[in-house]
Structure 1
Amino acid sequence: MSDFLVVGGGVIGMMTTLQLADAGHSVTLLERGQCGREASWAGGGIVSPLYPWRYSAPISRLSTWSEGFYPELALRLLEETGIDPEYRQRGLLYLRVDDESRALAWARKVGKPLERVGSDFLYAKEPNVAPGCDGALWMPTLGSIRNPRLTQALRRRLADMPGVTLREGCEVQGFRRSGGRVTAVETATGPLAADQVIVCGGAWAAGLLETTGLRLPVRPVKGQMILFKAPPDLVRRVVLMDGRYVIPRADGRVLAGSTLEEVGFDKTVTEEAHVSLRQSATRIVPALADCAVEHHWAGLRPGSPDGMPFIGAVPGLENLHVNAGHYRNGLVLAPASTRLLVDQLLGREPILDPMPYRLKDR
């Protein structure tokens, strides 16, 4: 029997497992499909909320902590696995921001580098972006990561750790309970026991927890993205305009996203989204019109009512815990949200006040 059993092998579940294993504990990670192949793979990899000044302070605190941790994590995984997560800190340019004064006031308050720059600065940084802009907002510290490679590296590292058991293709069907505790997790291949159980099931977390009587307000929200095969340096950094964005990769490829669709557990890609995403991308970088679209895919975000994740113990079950509901910011918030829960599980001083994220009273 493991010390901990983690349900869900996305970036939240894998980072939780890594931290618990680093602390010397035995961990079993259960994933219904393949680790890192759902929302963690499908997103864009921007290491910040898109418009961070529009989020609540508790989300900003998680985001700030995570941003500072990603460079260290990427370097560690590269050294340990040989897989480069491609963390790049080249900043972000915001075009046509309609609440610019609010953004600048937020930046001054939290001490975040953000400034208004003129057109000369803008086109020196990104010569190929939309012509005719009189300037932009510039956040030089923003980073991005190639999230499919991040999840590959996390999986490789966990597979090599002696205290970790990975069980992919293992669907959880419910929980056995007795005396205010979970005694086992029911799977298609039989029950599995652990001292502590952590549900990191993303968009599927609510369904997993229904068997305990908990109604977690987490729902799937589809997002579609496309990938252009572009020449190197056509786009050098993340550019955001009118709620859509382009993200360059080290090999020149450029991601463009994304849609927000309330269609349940449907990951079908649509021609309508393809056209819309391509139009948005070519408005941001007109030269992308001459580049082929290599891939078009969809993922399911774990939507929550206010975008605030649920992190902590399940009321009434002393050894069942949740880390889910990060909505559009799962990868952004993963290092801090997993560290916050692991701190509590191991009796350490938490990195942040855990109260805003608790399930109780929400």
Structure 2
Amino acid sequence: MIREADVETVTVIGSGIVGLTTAWALSEAGMAVRLLDRMALGREASWAGGGILCPLHPWRYPDAVQALAWRAAVAYPELASGLAERTGIDPEWTRSGLLVLDGDAGAARIWSQRWNQPVEFGSPRELAAWEPALTPTEGSLVRLPQAAQVRNPRLLQALSGALRARGVTIREHCTVHGLRVAAGRVIALDTGEGRVSTDGPVVVAAGAWSADLVAPLGAPVPIAPVKGQMLLFEAAPGLIGHVVLKGDRYALARRDGRVLFGSTVESAGFDKQPDPAIGQQLREAAVALIPALAEAHLAAHWAGLRPGSPDGIPIIGRHPQVANLWLNAGHYRNGVLLAPASAELLADLLQGRRPALDPAPYAWPTGAS
């Protein structure tokens, strides 16, 4: 049973990529941190996604997502190499590029100029040179050569190892059922292992489960689970080089040749069971895009729950009425990408530092319903 009280400790609820990077940013600033999670570390959306470090069809996203995305993208190479050096676990940050097969050239050009992101345009002839394993296609191709990917399960392992080495307490399988508030402050957490008393900051970074946890305290947040299903093929290294995007479906290859293909967008509550019929649809789409996958072994099919939010803009800030309660959640399809910049912003706000980004677009909404 947990029985602890520490006014100096920041409690982070959630050990996905957002919770882990938040804990890292706070510990980097010299704060004591403990982290609680209802599951094994990082086994929800952070593990289930593809680890793409660029928004899909980035020109469709609002400025608030863009600002976080490109600040985080710049931080990732150093973060990944530093974690590899500290822990011996390589997150495999790779500048693979993003190839959009149905890109909007006009929108991409405007976006490129505004956000200073390089972009290239091509025809079916260039496709044969860029990705010869793909089925030939017609229409405009948009290539983002600077886009990268990271092997997200290894990133989660490296972060957790680095945090433990730094002395951060990580409690897995410790469900937080509720927050006890008195005089406008969280004073305790009710968990499956007992009550945890605190007078320090509490950061909710529980992904799709965040809204239910904070709802009883007023100022509810518009975060809801959005199911996504994925496939994993075992293929030879080098089959494809880019992250390849067509519509809402993407394919990417890891350094060892494993190919991930996904992902669906489903409103199914908290149901994260993979559907065999949808798995078959995904397999057919994967083979239609990359014919060589017809002969590849289908190694896995899984589903995860993204924390959906309006326009994919996360909420990063303090509760309007509870002085020591903070939220860092609602990153939708871009949790892995946005996590370092979101964590930096949260840490700056919590410590009263002037943040690098304007925090207003991410403020905890007071009129949400």
User: What TM-score range do you get, normalising by the shorter chain?
Assistant: over 0.9
Secondary structure, in 3 states, of the residue corresponding to 2:312?
coil
What letter matches 1:201 in structure 2?
A
Identical aligned residues as a percent: 47
Question: Corresponding residue for 2:221?
Answer: 216
Equivalent-residue separation in structure 2 for 1:242 and 1:178 (angstroms)? 49
Note if contact 2:102-2:139 (Cα within 8 Å) is conserved in structure 1.
no
- 1:15-94 superposed matches below 5 A: 15-94=21-100
Equivalent-residue separation in structure 2 for 1:194 and 1:77 (angstroms)? 31
- For residue 17 of structure 1, report the CA deviation from its aligned partner: 0.5
**Structure 1's 327 and 132: CA in aligned 2 closer, same or farther, altered over 3 A?**
closer
Of 157, 160, 164, which residue of structure 2 is paired with 1:155? 160
Equivalent-residue separation in structure 2 for 1:175 and 1:111 (angstroms)? 43
Secondary structure, in 3 states, of the residue corresponding to 2:201?
strand
1:180 paired with 2:184, answer: yes
**Structure 1's 255 and 122: CA in aligned 2 closer, same or farther, altered over 3 A?**
same
Of 140, 148, 159, which residue of structure 2 is paired with 1:143? 148
Question: Corresponding residue for 2:343?
Answer: 338
Secondary structure, in 3 states, of the residue corresponding to 2:324?
strand
1:288 paired with 2:293, answer: yes
- For residue 103 of structure 1, report the CA deviation from its aligned partner: 1.6
- For residue 121 of structure 1, report the CA deviation from its aligned partner: 3.1
Equivalent-residue separation in structure 2 for 1:132 and 1:29 (angstroms)? 47
- 1:282-321 superposed matches below 5 A: 282-321=287-326
Question: Corresponding residue for 2:15?
Answer: 9
Note if contact 2:320-2:366 (Cα within 8 Å) is conserved in structure 1.
no
Secondary structure, in 3 states, of the residue corresponding to 1:264?
coil
Of 227, 233, 258, which residue of structure 1 is paired with 2:232? 227
Equivalent-residue separation in structure 2 for 1:298 and 1:233 (angstroms)? 26
- For residue 116 of structure 1, report the CA deviation from its aligned partner: 0.8
Secondary structure, in 3 states, of the residue corresponding to 1:282?
helix
Equivalent-residue separation in structure 2 for 1:134 and 1:310 (angstroms)? 37
Note if contact 1:5-1:194 (Cα within 8 Å) is conserved in structure 2.
no
Note if contact 2:221-2:365 (Cα within 8 Å) is conserved in structure 1.
no
Question: Corresponding residue for 1:353?
Answer: 358
What letter matches 1:181 in structure 2?
R
**1:182-229 superposed Cα distances (whole Å, 9 cap, x missing partner):** 111121222221411000010000111123133211111110000010
- For residue 263 of structure 1, report the CA deviation from its aligned partner: 0.6
TM-score, with structure 2 as normaliser: 0.95
- For residue 132 of structure 1, report the CA deviation from its aligned partner: 4.3
- For residue 96 of structure 1, report the CA deviation from its aligned partner: 2.1
Unaligned runs of 5+ residues in structure 1 are none
Equivalent-residue separation in structure 1 for 2:151 and 2:11 (angstroms)? 27
Question: Corresponding residue for 1:251?
Answer: 256
**1:46-72 superposed Cα distances (whole Å, 9 cap, x missing partner):** 101101100101110000101111111
Note if contact 1:122-1:135 (Cα within 8 Å) is conserved in structure 2.
no
- Name the stretch that deviates more: 99-108 or 9-18: 99-108
Equivalent-residue separation in structure 2 for 1:318 and 1:176 (angstroms)? 13
Equivalent-residue separation in structure 2 for 1:90 and 1:304 (angstroms)? 28
Unaligned runs of 5+ residues in structure 2 are 1-5
CA RMSD for the aligned pairs? 1.3
Note if contact 2:317-2:362 (Cα within 8 Å) is conserved in structure 1.
yes
TM-score, with structure 1 as normaliser: 0.96
What letter matches 2:20 in structure 1?
M
Of 103, 108, 113, which residue of structure 2 is paired with 1:103? 108
Matched positions, count = 360
What letter matches 2:59 in structure 1?
W
Note if contact 1:93-1:239 (Cα within 8 Å) is conserved in structure 2.
yes
**1:141-172 superposed Cα distances (whole Å, 9 cap, x missing partner):** 0000010111111111111112x111111110
**1:302-328 superposed Cα distances (whole Å, 9 cap, x missing partner):** 011221111100110111000111111
Note if contact 2:93-2:150 (Cα within 8 Å) is conserved in structure 1.
yes
1:205 paired with 2:216, answer: no
What letter matches 1:176 in structure 2?
R
